[in-house]
Structure 1
Amino acid sequence: MNSIHDLGGMHGMGPLPFEENEPKFHAEWERTVFGVNMLLLLSGAYTADEHRHSMEKIPALHWLESPYYLHWIDGFETILQDKGIVTAEEMDSGKSSMSGRAGPLANYIDPDAIRNIALHNHPVTGDIEKVPSFKEGDVVRAKNINPRTHTRLPRYTRGKKGIVVKHVGACLYADARAHGGSEQFQHTYSVRFEGKELWGPDAGPRDAVYIDLYDSYLEDA
């Protein structure tokens, strides 16, 4: 899906606001949002890919004007309403309108499970019978696709040539998982794109970007 979230390679966005000794959270409400998201993920209310896709649908101006953790709030509020777990009225009031409603939320989450996700992310690798389409050293091209659904293929790489430097393994296919699909796996590769290929002669002579890409994103160059 092409939306404002895919800012990689864009010009005119101003300098990156690096902050020395930046804290994990700038306000207590950000810590709370992080905790709510962990609860919802570990309870099975949605997957991380569903959450990402929900944030992709945030209007461009609101995205640019709002801080990072507000994107999270907008994302999971949309999902919870779309799935019928809560209503808009309940979101506004902060109170359940139906006592005893069954839902996916767990009463208790093991703190170690939260710590593991925070430190190591979600387990995404698995097994697949299909043999890899590419191997180390292959010259490939990122397909020029513009799906209306979720994709992890950055716009600035589409149609560009790169070299496979490593077969990462079979990983969960985010494009299907973002829409409630079954847990499909695809071979995934680390691909090196030279700066000049991506941005032309103004790129630095030693600039390169490494991106992990699914099998279905690539074709022979």
Structure 2
Amino acid sequence: MNGAHDMGGMHGMGPIDTDPNDPLFHAEWDKRAFAITLALGFHGRWNIDTSRHARENRHPADYLGSSYYEIWFKGVERLAVETGLVSAEELATGEPAAISQTPPPDPARVAAILAKGASAKLDDDVPAKFNAGTKVRVLDITTPGHTRVPRYCRGRIGTIDRDHGVYVFPDTHAHGLGKKPQHCYSVRFGGRDLWGDAAPSNDTIYVDLWDDYLEAAP
């Protein structure tokens, strides 16, 4: 979706903070927000792409006025209510109507999953539409749903740098429309292909893009 989260290439946002000593969590409640998001995800009522869309799909003033883990917590609150884990009243009062009898996940299993990461790579035998070195154009996609194609590269021409393999397609996966397995590529763009002559001539940007985002360039 074209939300406030898609900030790539926008002016007026200030410099990117690249402090190598920046802590993972700035407050104790940040850790709790992260832990709650992971714990509720183990119920299996949504997937990682649904979770991302719940964080992105916020009013711009709310999104830009919230810290990183505030956005995470607001997203998981929405999902918990929408999927029936809690009611809006329970969330507002902090008083659960009933104590869940769902056993907690095995700590060893949690540690193994966190160590592995949330890979969406698949073993499906799906043919690739493009090969390394192929010129491609990014489709000009506008959708109120979840998508992983940034605005700044839509309609631009780049080159397939490498094929990552077959992955879950996030645009359908986020909305319960299936995994739609397809190839995901690292697409190389020159800085001036994206930003014009104002960009340094030697800048190169790599964007991970799925088959359904691309077409062969003329």
Mapped to 2, the partners of 1:171 and 1:100 lie a distance apart of 37
Equivalent in the alignment of 1:86: 86
- Per the alignment, residue 17 of structure 2 pairs with 17
AA of the residue aligned to 1:207: D
Match for residue 160 of structure 1 among 150, 156, 161: 156
Asked if structure 1 preserves the Cα contact closer than 8 Å seen for 2:126 and 2:181, the reply is: no
Query: Could you tell me whether the CA contact under 8 Å between 2:139 and 2:214 is conserved in 1?
Result: yes
**Matched-pair identity in %:** 38
Give the residue type in structure 2 aligned to 1:154. Answer: P
Q: Quick one: distance in 2 between partners of 1:127 and 1:174?
A: 16
Show CA shifts across 1:93-151 (max 9, x none): 22212x3667xxx5222334444454442121113333111000000010011012111
Letter in 1 for 2:183: H
Q: Could you report, residue by residue, the CA deviation over 1:68-107 in whole angstroms, capped at 9, with x for unpaired residues?
A: 000011111111111222111111122212x3667xxx52
After the TM superposition, which residues 12-161 of structure 1 pair with which residues of structure 2 at under 5 Å, given as runs?
12-97=12-97, 99=98, 106-161=102-157
Which secondary structure state, in structure 1, belongs to the residue aligned with residue 103 of structure 2? coil
The residue number in structure 2 matching 1:174 is: 170
Q: Is the 8 A contact 1:4 1:60 kept in 2?
A: yes
Q: What SS is found at the alignment partner of 1:152?
A: coil
Question: What is the identity, as a one-letter code, of the residue corresponding to 1:190?
Answer: S
3-state SS in 1 of match to 2:167: strand
Aligned length: 217
Does the CA contact (< 8 Å) of 1:196 and 1:203 recur in 2?
Answer: yes
User: What amino acid does structure 2 have at the position aligned with 1:89?
Assistant: E
Give the alignment's TM-score, normalised by structure 1.
0.91
1:204 aligns with 2:200: yes
Q: 1:174 to 1:82 in 2, by over 3 A?
A: same
Q: Which amino acid aligns with 1:107?
A: P
SS across alignment from 1:109: coil
* Structure 1 residues 20 and 130: alpha-carbon distance in aligned structure 2, compared to 1, 3 A threshold: closer
Separation in 2, partners of 1:152, 1:186: 14
For 1:53 and 1:18, the matched residues in 2 are separated by: 25
**Partners of 1:209 and 1:114 in 2: CA distance:** 35
What secondary structure sits across from 1:23 in the alignment?
coil
1:219 is matched with 215
The Cα offsets for residues 174-205 of structure 1, whole Å up to 9 and x where unpaired, read as 11111122233111111001100000011111
What is the CA–CA distance in structure 2 between the aligned matches of 1:136 and 1:53, rounded to whole Å?
A: 30
Normalization by structure 2: what TM-score?
0.93
